[in-house]
Amino acid sequence: MNDLFRLFRYARPYTLALTAGILLTLVVGLFEAARIALVGPIFDGLAGNPKSQIPSFSYLTEYLPQINQWSTIALLLLIFTLLKGIALFCSGYLLTYVGQKIIVKLRQELYEHILKQSEVFFTSHRSTDLTAHIISDVEKVQHAVTVLLYDTLRESFTLIALLVCAFSISWKLSLFSLVVVPVVYIITVRFGRRLRQTSHKTQEGIQEVLGIAQETITNNRVVKAFGMERFESLRFLSSLEKLRHTNMRTASALYLSSPILEFVGFLLLAGLILFVQSLIAQGGFSVGSFTALLVALAKLYDPMRKLSQTQNTYQQIFAASTRVFAILDEHTEIVDKPNAKQLTTFQHRIELCDVSFYYPKSEIAALDKINLTIEKGQMVALVGNSGSGKSTLANLLMRFFDTSSGKILIDGVDIQDFQLASLRAQMALVSQQVILFNDTIYNNIAYGRTDISKEKVVEATCAAYADEFIVERGGYEVSIGENGLELAGGQRQRIAIARALLKNAPILILDEATSALDNKSERIVQEALNNLMQDRTTVVIAHRLSTIQQASQIVVLDKGRIVEIGTHQQLLAIGGFYHKLYQLQFAKNELNKELMLTRE
């Protein structure tokens, strides 16, 4: 129930519409009961008893003796039905309006919350799971606050109105009929608990199916290259079968409760008919009153059955809302300090002072006591084996993570004292894994910026050597497909470089930007990178040491520590770790050249 109250907090701006919708559902219940109460006078008239025994409508014969009772009742039936229909439409429309507003706000809040989280959050949540929370789980919550809320209120008020109608006819018989309520409650609660448990498993199954589908579709080339189509198909089928089994357990609980409740209700009704038969024979109860009571009690079954089903559905929805609010309650985002400063310019240097970093749930330092100074205008290269801490250091510079200990200073100020947005505004990133969007080339380069002219975009693409292939592909308004898959690797890199050029940030981070390219593409991209690095402070992470020989300083990392630092020539002269890396990369090429010369 806490989740439900939490959802209603989103409805506060729409209190007037919500209140009106609730009151109108009450009106629906009242007119439903009023129509049933008209049954008594009708059947009493047919049985030759002009005096209705229903207090609410006795005035029809006592106070209006001159009026044609049949015409009056017929007219009231039409009026009650019309007013009920109007109230039904208006209440449904208003509650749906409020529900849609709540869901838009909830979905947007969830989306923005996820975007704000740090890298720690994304390492513990699969992207398919997060997408499922935004789409599938919120869609279930949407069903709760638009459809189920309306149904619950309407059926609840109708149930109350029918009970009042039944008690006004005969409170003893109505009270006797309520012995079924505890039985209904026990059945509903038991099936509700079972549904809530299976709903959690259903959502987990959906996430597993989505995860497998996304992985295999995204990595379809690997699947085909290793001939694993059959393996992946069977793995996908296995997850589908698990989901089907869970769904069948949910269905058995969902559809079994209604027949059981129906049987219990009509068992009571059968006993009531036998009991009232003797009362009518003795003249203690009129045919019209009994018929109205019977109709009211029979009508009670419908809202009870619907409320039972609603309760079962709510259990499934509460499971979804629990997952949504669990994400909203998870806070790993990096937030600004209360008096954070605005970083407007970068003037002197970047300093790392005793910086250490541990990834969550790891006792091994990814970076250990790093001390490094990067002067403005320098090109600093980070090299080392995989897992040595190169990318981690770059992530700390952009505050994708915060340091576990130590400080990173820009112009003598701790970067944690700056507003995060202003810090990242001073940096541009070009990585090996280029992220492009399913949009036009122009929009991928401009990326949300409406304050720049097309001339600036064209200027950036020319500097990135991307203008030629853009023209060949049909211009800037051509779509490049999901993640730019319609472009070659080097072309995607040049789009990313053009985007970084357009940002025009003074600090540039190149995370292995050419490591996945062939020699020809690497040469073109490297020329574009040279244009990008001009007059900028650049931190380069590279596997190919040939691309960083002109660096101002090369920082060699191993197991999270700086083991060597210097220029290319200085490090080769030392004959240490960098020298070994250099030999590993170039010795084979030199040997091949010598062999070719020998043969000649």
The per-residue pLDDT for 63 is 45
Nearby residues of 500 by Cβ (< 8 Å), 6 or more positions away: 428, 429, 430, 508, 532
354 secondary structure, DSSP code: E
The per-residue pLDDT for 61 is 46
Residue 382 has a CB neighbour count (10 Å cut-off) of 27
The per-residue pLDDT for 543 is 75
The tens place of each residue's pLDDT in the chain, 600 residues long, gives 576 678 778 888 888 998 898 899 888 888 887 887 777 666 655 555 555 444 444 444 454 444 456 677 778 888 888 998 999 899 888 888 888 888 888 888 898 898 888 878 887 888 878 888 888 888 878 777 777 777 778 878 888 887 887 787 777 777 777 776 677 767 766 776 777 677 777 877 887 888 788 778 767 766 766 677 788 888 888 888 888 888 888 888 777 777 777 777 677 767 777 776 666 666 656 666 777 777 777 777 677 767 766 766 676 677 788 888 888 988 888 888 888 999 999 999 999 999 999 988 888 999 999 999 999 999 999 998 888 889 899 989 989 889 999 999 999 999 999 998 899 889 888 877 777 888 888 888 888 787 888 888 888 888 888 888 888 888 888 888 777 777 887 888 888 888 888 888 899 888 866 655 656 666 777 788 778 888 889 999 877 787 788 889 999 999 999 999 999 999 988 888 888 888 887 655 554 444 444 444
Element containing residue 318 per DSSP (H, E)? helix 287-328
Separation CA 496–CA 426 (nearest Å): 17
The per-residue pLDDT for 373 is 94
CA atoms within 13 A on the CB side of 215: 15
Separation CA 524–CA 469 (nearest Å): 12
For the CA atoms of 468, 469, 473, 479, the dihedral, rounded to the nearest 10 degrees, stands at -110
In terms of CATH architecture, what is 348-425+550-600? Answer: 3-Layer(aba) Sandwich (3.40)
Separation CA 512–CA 495 (nearest Å): 16
Separation CA 376–CA 349 (nearest Å): 5
Separation CA 16–CA 36 (nearest Å): 31
Q: Is the pTM for the entire model greater than 0.75? A: no
- Domain boundary assignment for the chain: 2-328, 348-425+550-600
Separation CA 552–CA 534 (nearest Å): 13
The per-residue pLDDT for 288 is 67
Supply 191's token pair: 């099936």
CATH topology of domain 2-328: ABC transporter transmembrane region fold (1.20.1560)
Separation CA 553–CA 379 (nearest Å): 7
Strands 561-566 and 507-511: unpaired
- The DSSP annotation for 187-224 comes to HHHHHHHHHHHHHHHHHHHHHHHHHHHHHHHHTHHHHH
Q: Where are the beta strands (DSSP E) in 59-172?
A: none
Closest CA relative to residue 444, chosen from 455, 434, 436, 452: 436
Phi, then psi, of 372 in degrees rounded to 5: -155, 140
CA angle 386, 513, 121 (to 5 degrees): 65
